[in-house]
């Protein structure tokens, strides 16, 4: 096994060379230069091209908790003198706590011309649950499996799980009948949401994840975890919010929606209202305002 010292000797030169290549690839005549990921932030700032902005979509050091070098690099990017745009209040809170700085929050949007309730057939004798089928802690699919197993053992409900993503092998681990759709188009995904009785987001930390918002736009009640969903998922209003990595609470929330038609309808109606308020047009308008303001200010 390579020592941490030797790994650092390999990674750091590679990272520097990679950033030089990225910086050279940026056109010379840009007015706004946006980094969208921690591993591109140094390239954007170091290029000296245009006014540098940093669109922060997560507290990304969390992705590298087991790698001290990349963890340090990710955290270091937040000290670069760049204008920020942050995509959730949760990330802003993390940045305020860890870095002592925050930025304007601009929530992502949903394309309601694609994600809307579709006229699809639903089986009345089988309850369908939909989720992103993603491996690892960010996906946390194991907690959906545990929750569905609890429901399966404690009720007479017939359950079906609909998964989508790029790893169909995950379906084999499910305790209930499961259909996996590999990289569906947005049109197909909207149909899948519309077929489901409830959409579940089990991740322990997200930053304004799109699946709950897309499901709301399709009229599907949502069960989600904290954190990173605080800006548009409101418990008992447009979704049921449960603690992360708590399959018992998740099972209870899913069961409530599947067995309480009045609750499901209330969440559905309020979810549709939420989705109509969070469109990509509004997101673009808010980002443009920040860009214009940044161009008119003196460089940091």
Q: Say whether 127-278 and 4-109+281-296 share the same fold.
A: yes
SS3 157: coil
SS3 141: helix
Residues sharing a CB contact under 8 Å with residue 277, sequence separation 6 or more, in sequence order: none
Distance CA 170, CA 147 (A): 16
Main-chain dihedrals φ then ψ at residue 199, nearest 5 degrees: -110, 140
Residues sharing a CB contact under 8 Å with residue 122, sequence separation 6 or more, in sequence order: 128, 195, 197
For the domain 4-109+281-296, what is the CATH code?
A: 3.40.50.2000
Distance CA 148, CA 142 (A): 10
Of 168, 174, 177, give the one whose Cα is nearest residue 144.
174
How many CB atoms are closer than 10 A to CB 259? 13
Q: Is the pTM of this model over 0.85?
A: yes
pLDDT in single tens digits along all 300 residues of the chain: 333 433 344 455 666 677 888 888 899 999 999 999 999 999 999 999 999 999 999 999 999 988 888 899 999 999 999 999 999 999 999 999 999 999 999 999 999 999 999 999 888 899 999 999 988 766 689 999 999 999 999 999 999 999 999 999 999 999 999 999 999 999 999 999 999 999 999 988 889 999 999 999 999 999 999 889 999 999 999 999 999 999 999 999 999 999 999 999 999 999 999 999 999 999 999 999 999 998 887 655
Domains of the chain, residue spans: 4-109+281-296, 127-278
The size of the chain, in residues, is: 300
Residues sharing a CB contact under 8 Å with residue 64, sequence separation 6 or more, in sequence order: 70, 71, 73, 74
* Domain boundaries 127-278, CATH class: alpha beta
The DSSP 8-state label assigned to residue 48 in this structure reads: T
Q: CA Rg, the chain, in Å? A: 21
Bridge partners (DSSP) listed for residue 96? none
Residues sharing a CB contact under 8 Å with residue 280, sequence separation 6 or more, in sequence order: 108, 109, 110, 111
């Amino acid at each position: 096994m390579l020592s941490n010292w030797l790994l650092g000797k390999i990674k750091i030169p590679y990272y520097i060379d990679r950033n030089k290549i990225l910086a050279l690839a940026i056109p010379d005549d840009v007015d706004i230069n946006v980094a969208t990921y921690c591993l591109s932030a140094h390239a954007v700032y170091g290029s000296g091209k245009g006014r540098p902005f940093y669109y922060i979509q997560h507290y990304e050091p969390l992705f590298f908790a087991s790698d001290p070098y990349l963890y340090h690099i990710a955290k270091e990017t937040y000290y670069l003198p760049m204008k920020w745009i942050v995509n959730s209040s949760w990330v802003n809170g993390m940045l305020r706590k860890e870095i002592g700085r925050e930025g304007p929050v601009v929530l992502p949007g949903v394309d309601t011309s694609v994600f809307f309730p579709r006229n699809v057939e639903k089986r009345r004798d089988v309850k369908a649950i939909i989720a992103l089928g993603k491996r690892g802690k960010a996906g946390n699919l194991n907690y959906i499996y545990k929750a569905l197993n609890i429901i399966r053992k404690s009720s007479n409900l017939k359950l079906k799980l609909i998964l989508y993503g790029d790893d169909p092998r995950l379906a084999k681990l499910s305790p209930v009948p499961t259909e996996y759709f590999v990289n569906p188009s947005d049109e197909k995904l909207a149909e899948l949401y519309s077929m489901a009785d409830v959409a579940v987001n089990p991740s322990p930390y997200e930053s304004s994840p799109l699946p709950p918002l897309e499901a709301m736009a399709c009229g599907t009640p949502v069960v989600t975890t904290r954190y990173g969903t605080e800006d548009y998922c409101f418990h008992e209003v447009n979704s049921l919010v449960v603690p992360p990595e708590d399959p018992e609470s998740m099972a209870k929330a899913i069961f409530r929606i599947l067995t309480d038609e009045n609750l499901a309808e209330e969440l559905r109606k309020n979810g549709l209202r939420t989705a109509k308020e969070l469109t990509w047009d509004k997101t673009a308008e808010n980002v443009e305002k920040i860009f214009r303001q940044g161009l008119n200010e003196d460089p940091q």
